[in-house]
Amino acid sequence: MNAIEKYFGINGTNTTIKTEVMAGTTTFLTMAYIIFVNPSILADAGMDQGAVFVATCLAAALGCFIMGLYARLPVVLAPGMGLNAFFTYGVVLGMGYSWQTALGAVFLSGCIFVGLSLFNIREWLINAIPNCLKQGIVAGIGAFLAFIALKSAGIIVSQESTFVALGNLHEFPPIMAAIGFFVIIGLAHRNIHGAVTIGILLVTLISVLAGVTPFQGVMSMPPSIAPTLMQLDIAGAFDVAMISVIFAFLFVDLFDTTGTIIGVTKKAGIMHEDGNIPNLNKALLADSTATVAGTLLGTSSTTSFVESTAGVAAGGRTGLMAVTVGVLFLLSLFFAPLAGMIPAYATAGAIFYVSVLMLFTLKEIDWEDLTEAAPVAVVLLMTPLTFSIAHGVSLGIITYTAVKALTGKFDEISPAVWVLTVILLAKIMFL
């Protein structure tokens, strides 16, 4: 135990091995849906669903192990939502490429990630983001999580005339999500460790006992990964038309990862007062390496998950939390029926709870200075409304540069922010 505490630096971080394991379990419960959603989406691209299920578990486990053991940060990884949708509906079904070629494009984007990480370019870019935007990104992720939670619970629904509307609150999912949220708040207020986990498991138990969620068994052997293992077509991805696709994967993963790492480390109290993040380059290298490995296994981009904040809220502060999640992903290969019994509304209350905690950074914004407030407002609002951390961060950076320049505060715009702004504007205009 002493060796584990020393390796992960647990002593002095206001945490324990038990807390880290509990935090990892909590995180896993909030993101276990990816095990089933990712194979379903990629199956629409023609990929074998069973093989993608195995690839998803293995890629997530590998990413978590690299992040936890190498970067030693409480950040977890798995095939990313949004990126898998772009893979299937944008590249394969939309542009007509095979899923093998699409995997080749993700592989190449991952290789670029690795190169940028090795030369500290990604770290330089993240550290160059103004502090007000870092605070805004955290709050924007919180708002994004709230939107996801409310949507998955059926509390808000789509409506043609207004885009969104209030759902039927008499139905079982919204009621269960609300119960989970209230239970978590009550337990957390009393400083009961594992409050988030207890809330999730309680709602799941009620759902099973009520007959809404059927008991699906305990164990099953994992399917074969052969149909997707090493099936990527790298040569096909060198097509000229694929350049924009490769850079699209690059930019989305870059800013999703950037926003997630900033949000998680800020919430965990790991980020330094000057806004810098310890072991950042190792974290970025872990993320990019996981993407490359994921394509070899047979899944779309593997990226840092915003659900890491659920584990941080449960007390996670070190890489042991990520390692715990990795172990649970491996176990999921054999306990898929059990993992599949956790309904979306069981985690919705937990995710909404985390979103509440993340809005605290708004108090650090100088709302009297419009050149600081405006970019934050853009990130805060556009992240959930575009359903993308990457879009929210991108538009926030562009806004920051524009308002600072138009008000004559050129000295507050770093060279890195100028470069980012030009690249992001070019992406919007030409990609």
Q: Could you report the per-residue pLDDT of 24-80, keeping only the tens digit for each?
A: 998 998 788 788 778 888 988 999 988 999 999 999 999 999 999 998 999 999 998
Distance CA 111, CA 106 (A): 9
Does residue 8 sit within a domain? no
Q: How many structural domains comprise the chain?
A: 1
Please write the tens of the pLDDT for every residue from 139-167. 887 888 888 889 888 999 998 888 999 99
Contact, 356 vs 142, CB < 8 A? yes
The tokens describing 399, both together, are 């806004």
The tokens describing 193, both together, are 């460790």
CA 365 to the chain's CA centroid: 24
Contacts of 247 (CB under 8 A, 6+ apart): 109, 427, 431
Which residues on neighbouring strands pair with residue 164, listed in sequence order? 158
Residue given tokens 């899923």 in the structure block? 99
Please write the tens of the pLDDT for every residue from 264-322. 888 788 877 766 778 888 888 888 899 999 999 999 989 888 788 888 888 888 889 99
Beta strand extents in 195-318 (DSSP E only)? 302-304
Distance CA 232, CA 258 (A): 27
Distance CA 153, CA 403 (A): 38
Does residue 114 sit within a domain? yes
Position 156, amino acid: I
Q: How many helices (H) and strands (E) does the chain have?
A: 19, 4
Does residue 373 sit within a domain? yes
Does residue 302 sit within a domain? yes
Beta strand extents in 261-372 (DSSP E only)? 302-304
Does residue 279 sit within a domain? yes
Please write the tens of the pLDDT for every residue from 89-134. 778 987 889 999 999 999 999 998 888 878 777 667 666 778 788 7
Distance CA 367, CA 323 (A): 39
Does residue 10 sit within a domain? no
The tokens describing 340, both together, are 């599949």
Closest CA to 8 of 88, 86, 70: 70
Report pTM.
0.72
Contact, 33 vs 341, CB < 8 A? no
Q: Which domain holds residue 354?
A: 15-430
